[in-house]
Amino acid sequence: MTEMNKIVRLSVFNIKKHKLEAFSLTILIMFCMTLIGSALSSGKSIKTIFPYVMKKTESYENYLMIYEKNFDNDFMDIINEDERITGSEHSNFLYDMSTKYLDSNGDEKALYMGFITKDNEEKLERFRYRSSLSEEKIASLRHPIYMPFIAENELSVKEGDTFSMVYGTRKFDFEVAGFYNTLFLSNSSMGMKFVVTDSDYVVLESILNKYELIAFNSVKGSDNADIFDSCIKRCEEYSQRDLMSGLMGMTYEGFRENTTATTKILLGLLIVMAVVIIISVAVMIRFRIAGDIKEQIVSIGVLEALGYKSREITLSYVIEYLMIAVAGVTIGVAGCFVLSPALFSLGEMMSGYQGRDRIFIAPILLSAVGLLALIALIAYIRASMVKKYPPVQAFRKGIGTNHFRKDHLPLRKTKKNVHIRLAMKGFAQNFKQSIGLTLCITLSSIAIVLSFILYSFMGKDMNVIAANSGIEMSDLRVTFMNSADTKDLYDEITEMPEVRKVLMTSDAENFVTYADHNQIMLPVAFDDFSETENIFPFEGRFPEHDNEVMFTSMWASEYKLKVGDTVTIEYNKVQRKYIISGIVTCLTNGGMNLYITDAGYKRLVPTYHHNTMEIYLKDGTDATDFKNMLTQKYGRSVADVKQDADSSAPYEERIKAAAEKKIAELMSVYGVDHVEYAIQSGDKMITGNSSGFRIRSVQNIGDIMRTQLSGLCSAVSIITKIFMFISALVVMVILFILMESSVRKQRKEFGIMKGMGYTSKELMFQLAARIMPAALFSVISGTVVSVLSTNSLTSFIGKVEVNIPSLIVLDICLLAFCFGCAYLGARKIKKISVYELMTE
Amino acid sequence: MSSSILHTEKLCKTFSNGGVQQHVIKNLDIDIREKEFTVIMGSSGSGKSTLLYALSGMDKPTLGKVFFGNEDISQYSNDELAVFRRKNCGFVFQSIYLLENMTVFDNVMTGALVVQKNSAELVKKAEELLKKVGINEEIWKKYPNQLSGGESQRVGIVRAVINDPKILFADEPTGSLNSASSCDVLDIFTDLHKKGQSIVLVTHDLKTALRGNRVIFISDGSVAGEYEMLPYGTDDIRKRRDGLQDFLDRMGW
């Protein structure tokens, strides 16, 4: 037999002897490999999504959206004058934030929607759609609609389905013709851009807000945000109009960053999880080899006496663990081929783009080789301790290593329970082993507690998120026409029996600029912020004076701002300085909210006045019924009236409806305050005015927020659940292996104790209780570390509220879980036969 | 005659080895009497140790019953047997089996604390017993591998008797000791018996067997014969030895 054969046989023998432990290690290594390999591979493939979309769509790189009423064709010349711009295009576009759709249950769901015609879409990017329908079938559709790829999953629609867009009380049915990749408005966060026929566009044009979409390319390396800013300024100067109202834009860098931002965090978490597992594996291998050498020391002495070199025995351990690692890594690599596409799909879901799924083999192979090398190195370093035991010393069971130690917790001082005393004595005697265990459980606890905090915060339900949305989540947000007397309306609505509270604010359409960094911001103004229910400063306090504002944590972190800093806010070339009084967690609107008092807002925009009410209804009041009652009482909302009149109605009514529609358009699109009309129809004069239009729009902010955050929430929910499961599995496997090794190592000791009259259950309890000090320390320190690091890890969303009582319950559950696993892991004590041990 | 403390009814113990069944104890009826020093003798492989472990609840019989008083312990579960052992039995083994990671004192206390709760009283009792068997205070904090064989076995005896067991089982207690240590250990057993301790001891050593007052000879898994003697030290040692030797010769030992 060759030398290597002998070593391999020895390794195989050891694996067969400890099958369960080998299997458990294989599982952990498999998880580790799958997580690292998939995270690295999909991280690379997700990075390709954006370039792929750019290549496939040949889209313009930067988009700017302004109200059509503010647009002038000369703007394009002004924009093209910028020498950094290499090409530009513009197109008509419809966009509205009051749109909803019917989901598969027929319930209304809020979704910002944009509409464009096929020809216009072709001007901005190459329109390539994917459809399972034939060209003939598509041609036969009456109202075909093409949706961004993300809609298929997020809106749960497929080709041929009816997609119902709801605007006010009116429903528009489209048939889904196909899905396409689009750079601009590709997900539910900012809204989705749908391609419709010219005729449908014309219908929608009469009810939705009209915009002009400006797209441009720039010289590589240009600061596109600066180009935006300079173009807007020059266009404003030229037109002498305020273009900031309703303005929305996204730079190339913004698109690119959005593609990977969220998935980067998730992939980072996967790698952290894998590191937790690999550290646990390392600790376990070290512990197992040390335990095995101590247990087998006489056999090792015999082998050495028979002529085996200590190097060969060391090598047998390395090969044993390499064999286990190869098995784990091989299954793990196979796992990568399953998990990577899933992560890629998640990346597509988060970004809203469809890329070309491709598994990058190199990162997977590199991870595999790295993992194998690491395991071999750990095994080699630990197994080298065999050298310390030449045959004679091995026969003496390594005398000199054990017995001149401190007598920990002498039993003469036992006060109450001997089992706990013996368990603590065992803990003290195996302190070194406990350090490794503590490390493993601490890391797993961190992963579990962090996942739990994130899950409670984002994944569990929307209520916690509502408290951190950074926007006021009233039951109804009603925006009135500028001509309406909001003071009277406020008094009237406050007196209504269904109403709990009304807060006055303004609509969210006038953007201001954080002048120090040219950052567009959306003012959220209230007279007294302490009256709000969903806006909380997690640092500092609410703004109280007219020179105070609050920033969102996202921008505060982006621009390194803190409470007490002074910022310059600009509107229509007027600049004012404000002191930051507080930082707010804001999960919505991309964190661009600026919290300002009414007085502070008036300093910047002297014409500012309240035109919006946040209405809070009493418990049990139906928001839809209340909305209907409001629109009946104060006239149909402009959003409702901007729809086509019923063609079967009498002539006079149709004339009135058409007139009202025109009034609605003038008021909503052009900001007209008052309209009167008189129409001669034969000998009859049909007259009317806009006094009935007091409501401009009614929104349920909760619905919008749910749509904006549902994707992120479900992703967080899935990932955190996986994390908690894997971490719990790691703890379980570690404890099982540890207990099995301990039972094997102390088989004789337990046999003797059984002989003395200790029951199996008592010994199992003792062994399980032995790990509890380490578990207690680990769980507590893991929780403390998690709580302390939560906010730095989640600074992208702001302050995550930690529910301490629920964490205490979680810690108790974790400790019970550790004890349960250890107790079950020690079950082999039952198999120890006193008689067999005595007669061996 | 003393009353019975332990008896068996048609006790059988069979081992299976690679499909081959080996009947080590066959339909054995035996009666162990209270306050007696019963010695079980027999040739190697006769089943004497197997019998000891079956009697003491260390092992379950394949068939038959073992009664401790009126209680049939052969039907007990492993944990019930453990509780039975700690309440009623003490054990002294040939290999001693001290817990290697515990000091001498803790070895004694481990056996005691599983039954008794009053730590202060136990500590006092353990100290007294250790001193009585010649294990002085300086040894109490030592670990088993720092003791001589005789010292270890004396600690083992203290551990076995600290709970005042109703019956003390010993399996070749002097088997691994030199003659001086053996004598010391046997003196302890004699002393315990004098104080009324019921003892069941397995041995194949004549000198050890002489310490008992009843010898049961096991052959091929069955009781081949019994021999009764006066308590050790109450008769002439030469006559005692000759009498036992005659009995053993008749048994074909």
Each residue's pLDDT tens digit, A488-545: 888 889 999 999 999 998 775 667 888 888 777 888 999 999 888 878 888 899 999 9
Residues of chain B positioned with their CB less than 8 A from the CB of A748? 97
Which among A403, A406, A412, A746 is the top mutation candidate for probing chain B, defined by the most B β-carbons within 10 Å of its own β-carbon?
Answer: A412
User: Mean pLDDT of all residues in chain A?
Assistant: 84
Model pTM greater than 0.95?
Answer: no
In this complex, is the C-beta atom of B111 within 8 Å of any C-beta atom belonging to chain A? Answer: yes
pLDDT at site B63: 94
In this complex, is the C-beta atom of B101 within 8 Å of any C-beta atom belonging to chain A? Answer: yes
The arithmetic mean of pLDDT across residues A424-429, rounded, is 86
Least confident of A118-132, A391-405, A408-422, A643-657: A391-405
Nearest to B58 among A414, A425, A835 (CB): A835
Residues within 8 A of A (CB atoms), B 80-99 only: 82-87, 89, 91, 93, 95, 97-99
Residues within 8 A of A (CB atoms), B 150-189 only: 159, 171
**Closest alpha carbon within chain A to B59:** A835
pLDDT at site A156: 87
CA triple A506-A466-A255, angle to 5 deg:
75
Q: Find all residues with CB under 8 Å of A782, minimum gap 6, and list them.
A: A441, A442, A443, A444, A445, A446, A448, A449
pLDDT at site A799: 58
The arithmetic mean of pLDDT across residues A651-676, rounded, is 72
Q: Find all residues with CB under 8 Å of A625, minimum gap 6, and list them.
A: none
How many C-beta atoms surround the C-beta of residue A19 within 10 A?
A: 9
Nearest to B58 among A760, A830, A838 (CB): A838
- According to CATH, the superfamily of the domain at B33-58+88-250 is P-loop containing nucleotide triphosphate hydrolases (3.40.50.300)
Q: Which residues of A make CB contacts under 8 Å with B?
A: 399, 402-404, 407, 410-416, 418, 421-422, 425, 429, 748-749, 751-762, 830, 833-835, 838-839
* B123–A760 C-beta distance less than 8 A: no
Q: Hey, which bits of A611-720 come out as E strands?
A: 612-617, 676-681, 684-689, 695-699
What tens digit of pLDDT does each residue of A171-189 get? Answer: 889 999 999 989 888 887 7
Nearest to B99 among A752, A761, A834 (CB): A752
State how far the alpha carbon of B106 is from the alpha carbons of A410, A829, B113, B138, in Å: 7, 22, 10, 14
Beta bridge partners of B20: B17
What tens digit of pLDDT does each residue of A213-262 get? Answer: 999 999 888 888 888 888 888 888 888 877 776 677 788 888 887 777 77
Whether pLDDT at A467 is above 80:
no
Distance in angstroms (rounded) separating the CA atoms of residues A82 and A93: 24
- Between A506 and B28, residue with greater pLDDT: B28
Going by the DSSP 8-state scheme, the letter that residue A799 receives in this structure is P
What tens digit of pLDDT does each residue of A559-598 get? Answer: 889 999 999 998 877 889 999 999 987 766 667 889 999 9
* A414–B109 C-beta distance less than 8 A: yes
Nearest to B110 among A429, A748, A753 (CB): A753
E strand or H helix at A566, and its extent?
Answer: strand A566-571
The arithmetic mean of pLDDT across residues B149-166, rounded, is 93
**Closest alpha carbon within chain B to A839:** B49
Q: Are strands B198-202 and B167-171 parallel, antiparallel or unpaired?
A: parallel
Q: Find all residues with CB under 8 Å of B132, minimum gap 6, and list them.
A: none
The arithmetic mean of pLDDT across residues B211-216, rounded, is 95
pLDDT at site A409: 79
**Closest alpha carbon within chain B to A415:** B119
Nearest to residue A539, comparing CAs of A804, A796, A799, A802?
A799
The total number of residues shown for chain B amounts to: 253
- Between A19 and B198, residue with greater pLDDT: B198
Confidence band, pLDDT 50/70/90 cuts, at residue A397: low
Which among B46, B83, B108, B109 is the top mutation candidate for probing chain A, defined by the most A β-carbons within 10 Å of its own β-carbon?
Answer: B109
Sheet harboring A499-505: ordered strands across? A499-505, A612-617, A476-480, A695-699
In this complex, is the C-beta atom of B63 within 8 Å of any C-beta atom belonging to chain A? Answer: no
Nearest to A755 among B58, B79, B84 (CB): B58
Confidence band, pLDDT 50/70/90 cuts, at residue A800: low
Going by the DSSP 8-state scheme, the letter that residue A98 receives in this structure is S
Nearest to B113 among A411, A749, A754 (CB): A411
Nearest to residue A787, comparing CAs of A775, A803, A798, A776?
A803
* B171–A838 C-beta distance less than 8 A: yes
Whether pLDDT at A401 is above 50:
no
pLDDT above 70 coverage of chain A, percent: 89
What tens digit of pLDDT does each residue of A266-275 get? Answer: 788 788 888 8
pLDDT at site A205: 86
What tens digit of pLDDT does each residue of A812-839 get? Answer: 999 999 999 999 999 999 988 877 776 6
Contact in structure between A705 and A473 (CB atoms under 8 Å): yes
Going by the DSSP 8-state scheme, the letter that residue A457 receives in this structure is I
Nearest to residue A248, comparing CAs of A16, A509, A440?
A509
pLDDT at site B87: 92
pLDDT at site A462: 61
* A757–B85 C-beta distance less than 8 A: yes
* B83–A407 C-beta distance less than 8 A: no
Whether pLDDT at A714 is above 80:
no
Nearest to residue A481, comparing CAs of A206, A689, A701, A204?
A689
In this complex, is the C-beta atom of B13 within 8 Å of any C-beta atom belonging to chain A? Answer: no
pLDDT at site A399: 55
What tens digit of pLDDT does each residue of A753-784 get? Answer: 998 999 999 999 999 999 999 999 999 999 99
The total number of residues shown for chain A amounts to: 840
CB crowding A648-686: b at 16 or more within 10 Å, else e: eeeeeeebbbebbbebbbbbbbeeeeebeeeeeeeeeee
Contact in structure between B155 and B98 (CB atoms under 8 Å): yes
Contact in structure between A319 and A415 (CB atoms under 8 Å): no
Distance in angstroms (rounded) separating the CA atoms of residues B252 and A181: 100
pLDDT at site A14: 81
* A415–B119 C-beta distance less than 8 A: yes
Q: How far is A286 from chain B (nearest CA, A)?
A: 22
Distance in angstroms (rounded) separating the CA atoms of residues B49 and B41: 9
Q: How far is A733 from chain B (nearest CA, A)?
A: 27
Going by the DSSP 8-state scheme, the letter that residue A787 receives in this structure is H
- Between A445 and A9, residue with greater pLDDT: A445
Whether pLDDT at B40 is above 90:
yes
Distance in angstroms (rounded) separating the CA atoms of residues A774 and A440: 10
**Closest alpha carbon within chain A to B100:** A749
Residues of chain A positioned with their CB less than 8 A from the CB of B119? 412-415
* A757–B87 C-beta distance less than 8 A: yes
Q: Where are the domains of chain B?
A: 33-58+88-250
pLDDT at site A506: 78
Q: Between A and B, how many CB-CB pairs are < 8 A?
A: 104
